[in-house]
Amino acid sequence: MAAVQFVVEGEHPLKGSIRPSGNKNAALPIICAALISDQPVTLHNVPRIRDVETLVDLVRSLDVQADWRDRNSLYIHAKTLRASALDPALCAKIRASILLAGPLLARCGEVTLPPPGGDVIGRRRVDTHFLALEQLGATFDVGDTFRLRARKLKGADVFLDEPSVTATENALTAAVAATGTTVLRNAASEPHVQDLAHFLTTLGAHIEGIGTNTLTIHGGHAIRGGTHAIGPDHIEVGSFIGLAAVTCSEIRIEKAGLEHLRSIRMGFERLGIVCKEDGPDLIVPKDQDKEIRSDLGGHVPKLEDQPWPAFPADVMSIAIVTATQCKGLILMHEKMFESRMFFVDKLIGMGARIVLCDPHRALVAGPSALRGSTVESPDIRAGMAMLLAALCARGTSTINNVGQIERGYERIDERLSALGARITRIEERRGG
């Protein structure tokens, strides 16, 4: 097994164009949802990242044909589907394994799921998934594994106890295969949930309310095969906005999916970073005032994440690093995960002026001159944030555990190097 490091030389200006990959958080549920059809499905613009590769291996373990037709196009044909126990080692690598529950219940009537893995950013409850599927006719037992059964899925009026993205996706996919009408209330409405819904309509599903918090699914319609292109990753776009800001660079983000960027752009505007639209592209100009906008009356402003369409939690780590390079004081409030903020200790070690108030809030004072350091990549988004910090720091940084970043960002070292970043990839073979 190879241990991967990035050795990063900071303070080099970047310039050029970059295109966001397909949305990771759309690709994962869409790959799972492809299993509700026994006809061929072709997916384009699929990000070739570790989480996707792991999920494809899981899908293949169910006797499903899943082949890469080119680097970012995936062919799936679930003509046969075996409801076997899923590989615990693979499930432990990704949280998305739980998204197989809905499709396997729909096709096989049962599924045994080991506990899902993923980022270590705090407790991520699964109750909402099972309570929603139970209302659609499933029964479940919870022990060392999760065992679900459903002789027949039936439509229902379902109120989710929290607007969980993955629970919404599981329930949505199951409802498409259920008989009768399902109403999903308090549903998540993120761009990746919308993308999944559009994919399901391509397969013949009848879904109303896409993009809202109430989805009406008229189930029981014939499911066919189809072709679908994954939309651009708005979280990656947010990462590139932060990248341009902290390195004082002008970057064009091609085909950025502007319709899904309003809250992200508003969040960065609070930090004094303004972007321009040019057709389907987003341009981050080099000259930014990077002055944090105080609230009316001169009060200390706050940037907080909330369910879509508000500022997304997955951009918070990027925004914190960006705030260290902006003039002023701001309170960053990450509401969803109680361990996600702990990476700021690494930023403090690089010279950032941050007070971690509690597991959810950090007070950032900038600008701070960051210095190179040796740091870990604790999770996907914090890892990318540390890469941004290294790129604007004085001197050389070493980022360990780069595999975390590569779970969510495709060939990020190559793509940023094309903009002028100085990133050296080092792979060391471990025994075993």
**Residue count (the chain):** 432
Q: Give Cα separations from 71 to 20, 140, 302, 359 (angstroms).
A: 15, 38, 41, 39
pLDDT in the model for residue 135:
94
Looking at the structure, do residues 181 and 322 belong to the same domain, yes or no? Answer: no
pLDDT in the model for residue 123:
41
Cβ neighbours of residue 296 under 8 Å, at least 6 residues apart? none
Domain that holds residue 239: 2-21+232-429
pLDDT in the model for residue 55:
94
User: What number is the average pLDDT over the span 18-36?
Assistant: 97
* pLDDT beyond 90 at 183: yes
Give residue-wise pLDDT tens across range 105-129.
999 988 888 776 543 333 446 788 8
* pLDDT beyond 70 at 326: yes
Looking at the structure, do residues 223 and 236 belong to the same domain, yes or no? Answer: no
Strand partners, 397: 8
Q: What is the mean pLDDT of the chain?
A: 92
pLDDT in the model for residue 25:
94
Evaluate if pTM is beyond 0.85: yes
Give residue-wise pLDDT tens across range 205-260.
999 999 999 999 999 899 999 999 999 999 999 999 999 999 999 999 999 999 99
Looking at the structure, do residues 350 and 316 belong to the same domain, yes or no? Answer: yes
Q: Could you say which of 229, 244, 259 is where a domain stops?
A: 229
Strand partners, 74: 43, 68
Measured distance CA(44)–CA(36) in Å, rounded: 18
Say how many domains are in the chain: 2
Q: Could you say which of 229, 245, 270 is where a domain stops?
A: 229
pLDDT in the model for residue 120:
37
User: What number is the average pLDDT over the span 21-33?
Assistant: 97
The candidate with the shortest Cα–Cα distance to 185, out of 154, 216, 210, is 216
CA 107 and chain centroid, separation: 27
pLDDT in the model for residue 429:
63
* pLDDT beyond 60 at 289: yes
Of 119, 195, 305, 379, which one is the catalytic site residue? 119
User: At residue 6, what are phi and psi to the nearest 5 degrees?
Assistant: -110, 130
Q: Could you say which of 201, 229, 257 is where a domain stops?
A: 229
Looking at the structure, do residues 39 and 147 belong to the same domain, yes or no? Answer: yes
Looking at the structure, do residues 236 and 208 belong to the same domain, yes or no? Answer: no
Looking at the structure, do residues 45 and 96 belong to the same domain, yes or no? Answer: yes
Measured distance CA(53)–CA(27) in Å, rounded: 11
Looking at the structure, do residues 171 and 239 belong to the same domain, yes or no? Answer: no
119 is catalytic: yes
Measured distance CA(235)–CA(318) in Å, rounded: 10
Provide, rounded to the nearest whole percent, the portion of the chain with pLDDT above 90. 78
Computed on alpha carbons and rounded to an integer, the radius of gyration of the chain in Å comes to 22
Looking at the structure, do residues 160 and 266 belong to the same domain, yes or no? Answer: no
pLDDT in the model for residue 432:
46
313: CATH: 3.65.10.10
Looking at the structure, do residues 308 and 332 belong to the same domain, yes or no? Answer: yes
Measured distance CA(309)–CA(323) in Å, rounded: 22
* pLDDT beyond 50 at 378: yes
Looking at the structure, do residues 7 and 44 belong to the same domain, yes or no? Answer: no
Is 430 or 217 the better-scoring residue by pLDDT? 217
Element (H, E) at 69: strand 65-70
pLDDT in the model for residue 117:
57
Looking at the structure, do residues 200 and 243 belong to the same domain, yes or no? Answer: no
Looking at the structure, do residues 293 and 368 belong to the same domain, yes or no? Answer: yes
Q: Where are the alpha helices (DSSP H) in 122-272?
A: 127-135, 165-177, 191-202, 234-246, 262-270
pLDDT in the model for residue 98:
87
| Whether the bond into 309 is cis, omega within 30 of 0 | yes
